[in-house]
């Protein structure tokens, strides 16, 4: 048997679920998070923006956010890709806060289409469960978008990389 110093990866699939289920799963998994021989890897894209994804939230420089439609004139203040970035960074800040509740509130506020929102929610709830404190919170290290959307007919997927050492 070949030994390695890397932990065994155990895949866990978490689909669309509720905040209370995220907390229940966190209670079950928290002892594994407390064990330094374990590692958790969570994968998720961030915003899937565009009419083809059914998500066109736009945060204007002034006034209330709106959902753009196919017939909307392409806004310029800010350009759409800057609004996408702003919304993503608000979601990133909510994740970095370490608050499971704050993460959920932010996603409900904007409807941001973070496809791995529930696995991230479980991890945030686990971190709260074991009391990781500020030093163990997620730290985001990179952010990219598949395109810089300028008109309503375009689309984009956002990607963000983060880590946490517990």
Task: Dump pLDDT digits (tens) for 14-59.
Answer: 999 999 999 999 999 999 999 888 888 898 899 999 999 999 999 9
- Specify the pLDDT at position 11: 85
pLDDT for the residue 1: 61
- What's the mean pLDDT when you consider all of the chain? 93
**What's the rounded mean pLDDT across residues 83-105?**
97
Quick one: pLDDT band at residue 166, thresholds 50, 70, 90?
A: confident
Share of the chain above pLDDT 90, in %: 80
pLDDT at site 7: 79
Task: Work out the percent of the chain whose per-residue pLDDT is above 70.
Answer: 98
| Residue 2, pLDDT score | 67
pLDDT digits (tens, 9 = 90+) for 47-66: 999 999 999 999 999 989 99
Whether pLDDT at 160 is above 70: yes
CB 145 within 8 A of CB 158: yes
pTM confidence score:
0.91
On the question of a cis peptide bond just before residue 136, with omega within 30 degrees of 0, the verdict is no
From 155, 150, 166, select the one nearest 79 (Cα to Cα).
Answer: 150
List phi, psi (to 5°) of 33: -70, -35
Q: Among candidates 114, 143, 138, which has minimal Cα distance to 128?
A: 138
pLDDT, residue 165, reads: 87
- Please name the residue that has the structure tokens 């066109």: 56
């Amino acid at each position: 048997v070949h030994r390695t110093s890397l932990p065994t990866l155990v895949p866990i699939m978490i689909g669309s679920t509720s905040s209370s289920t995220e907390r229940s799963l966190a209670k079950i998994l928290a002892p594994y998070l407390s064990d330094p021989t374990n590692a958790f890897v969570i994968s998720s894209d961030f915003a899937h923006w565009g009419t083809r994804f059914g998500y066109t939230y736009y945060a204007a420089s002034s006034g209330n956010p709106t959902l753009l439609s196919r017939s909307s004139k392409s806004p310029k203040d800010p350009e759409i890709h800057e609004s996408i970035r702003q919304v993503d960074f608000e979601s990133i800040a909510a994740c970095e806060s370490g608050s499971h509740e704050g993460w959920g509130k932010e996603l409900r506020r904007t409807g941001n289409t973070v496809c791995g929102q529930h696995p991230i929610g479980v991890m945030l709830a686990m971190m709260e469960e074991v009391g990781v404190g500020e030093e163990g919170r997620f730290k985001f290290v990179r952010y990219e978008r598949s395109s810089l959307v300028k008109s309503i007919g375009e689309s984009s997927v956002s990607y963000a990389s983060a880590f946490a050492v517990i």
